[in-house]
């Protein structure tokens, strides 16, 4: 028997929540984006009025204003969106214990065992859609299918406030006739490569020899082939299951271009403190430090290096990040954004070999200092205590590094990876 999988996607989520709190803006073009003065100028989402005027998610604020001069841009309020996201998930959980988030605004729901109590997949989707509308005041688009990939396709197929059923009778007509870029995991680079081989639709992809796709794309070629044919068997994760943390990192686009090593050092230390604090909070230490650098022309690179001992000490992370920067950046252009990440995580009490070139006493003092700073910031905020370095340019260091961290997780990090 086929599974019954729903994929629920909250329409224009951030903008929809903001419109609930700003009824005076009804009918006007609205978007949620970053702070233009701090140059975090990206459109996170826009309402349909703004989208019809040409505003696109991911574009710079200045580009959005060119497309829609009357656009109203509000700063994001993540705590508010997280509250609405959890309320939506509480509704989903009333129909299944298999609810897997895919970002704040999307969830897969396995309703295979719910039919006897709540009806068919489309009936369940209608129930959920009505409840979200009446209880939360926003709308969702829901896809219904026998696998996660086609359910996700269905929720994207018609918007807003729509229910699309992709079943074994219609998927060749609906899915296979759609552009290959509409399939999960086919990004721009993959699309361009597929186009070079004449693979323009999902049906073209489904009909292509899987071993040819493997020769071109590697293992992901086999995955895309299975997705296109509707053979995805990846399970929906049980509600509350945790994904192992593989790395902890932080990055920022700076309020102005960085033109000196001192500028870079100020930002790197701010990011390293945030990363080290999170590592300690979760009981981790890592032995690979990575940096990501992007210049004023948006050209970027990343470099990483394995350190002698696992660390969650801010000074060690910052020193290694600065070493990587010095050895790999030629200053042909100013720096626009920087990221610092620690990977190869272990539990902080995991045994390790002490390095002959590092003083255990020095490390213990650095760790105690970091822990004292953690306690102060937990009580009074990130800016309550700062290194003297940060006072060289208070505008550059005024940003709160705690607000930037994002931990994206892959589609296959939950459940049975071999199910495709």
The residues carrying an active-site annotation are: 106
Q: Taking a C-beta distance cutoff of 8 angstroms, is the pair 144, 6 a contact?
A: yes
Neighbouring CB atoms inside 10 A of 54's CB total 15
Q: Environment class of residue 119 by beta-carbon count within 10 Å: exposed (0-12), middle (13-18) or buried (19+)?
A: middle
Q: Environment class of residue 198 by beta-carbon count within 10 Å: exposed (0-12), middle (13-18) or buried (19+)?
A: exposed
Q: Which two tokens stand for residue 9?
A: 């996607």
Before 122, cis peptide (omega within 30)? no
Q: Where are the beta strands (DSSP E) in 259-370?
A: 284-295, 300-311, 335-347
> Longest Cα pair distance anywhere in the chain, in angstroms?
69
> Which residue, 304, 322, 315, 313, is CA-closest to 277?
313
Neighbouring CB atoms inside 10 A of 268's CB total 24
Three-state DSSP class for residue 70:
coil
Q: Where are the beta strands (DSSP E) in 20-98?
A: 30-33, 43-46, 72-74
Neighbouring CB atoms inside 10 A of 267's CB total 25
CA gap 57, 44 in Å, rounded: 6
> Which residue, 7, 5, 6, 11, is CA-closest to 136?
11
């Amino acid at each position: 028997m086929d599974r019954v999988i729903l994929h629920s996607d909250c329409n224009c989520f951030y903008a929809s929540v903001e419109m609930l709190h700003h009824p005076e803006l009804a009918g006007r073009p609205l978007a949620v984006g970053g702070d233009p003065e701090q140059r975090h100028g990206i459109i996170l989402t826009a309402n349909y009025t703004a989208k019809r005027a040409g505003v696109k998610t991911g574009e710079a604020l200045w580009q959005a204003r060119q497309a829609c001069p009357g656009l109203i841009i509000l700063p994001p309020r993540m705590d508010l969106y997280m509250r609405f996201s959890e309320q939506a998930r509480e509704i989903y959980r009333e129909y299944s214990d298999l609810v897997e988030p895919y970002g704040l605004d999307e969830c897969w729901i396995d309703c295979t065992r719910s039919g006897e109590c709540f009806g068919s997949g489309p009936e369940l989707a209608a129930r959920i859609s009505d409840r979200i509308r009446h209880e939360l005041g926003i709308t969702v688009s829901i896809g219904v299918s026998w696998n996660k990939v086609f359910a996700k396709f269905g929720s994207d197929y018609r918007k807003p406030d729509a229910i699309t059923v992709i079943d074994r009778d219609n998927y060749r007509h609906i899915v296979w006739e759609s552009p290959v870029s509409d399939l999960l995991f086919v990004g721009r680079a993959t699309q361009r490569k597929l186009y070079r081989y004449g693979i323009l639709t999902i049906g073209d992809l489904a009909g292509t020899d899987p071993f040819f796709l493997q020769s071109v794309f590697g293992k992901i070629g086999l995955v895309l082939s299975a997705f296109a044919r509707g053979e995805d068997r990846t399970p929906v994760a049980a509600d509350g299951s945790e994904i192992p943390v593989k790395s902890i990192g932080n990055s920022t686009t700076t309020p102005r271009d960085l033109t000196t090593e001192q500028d870079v050092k100020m930002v790197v230390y701010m990011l390293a403190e945030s990363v080290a604090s999170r590592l300690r909070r979760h009981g981790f230490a890592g032995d690979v430090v990575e940096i990501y650098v992007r210049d004023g022309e948006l050209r970027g690179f990343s470099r990483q290096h394995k350190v002698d001992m696992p660390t969650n000490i801010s000074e060690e992370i910052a020193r290694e990040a600065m070493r990587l920067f010095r050895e790999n950046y030629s200053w042909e252009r100013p720096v626009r954004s920087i990221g610092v990440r620690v990977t190869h995580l272990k539990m902080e009490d995991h045994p390790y070999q002490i390095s002959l070139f590092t003083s255990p006493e020095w490390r213990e003092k650095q760790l105690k200092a970091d822990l004292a700073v953690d306690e102060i910031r937990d009580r009074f905020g990130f800016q309550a205590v700062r290194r003297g370095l940060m006072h060289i340019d208070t505008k550059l260091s005024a940003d709160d590094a705690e607000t930037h961290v994002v931990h994206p997780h892959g589609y296959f990090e939950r459940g049975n990876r071999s199910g495709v």
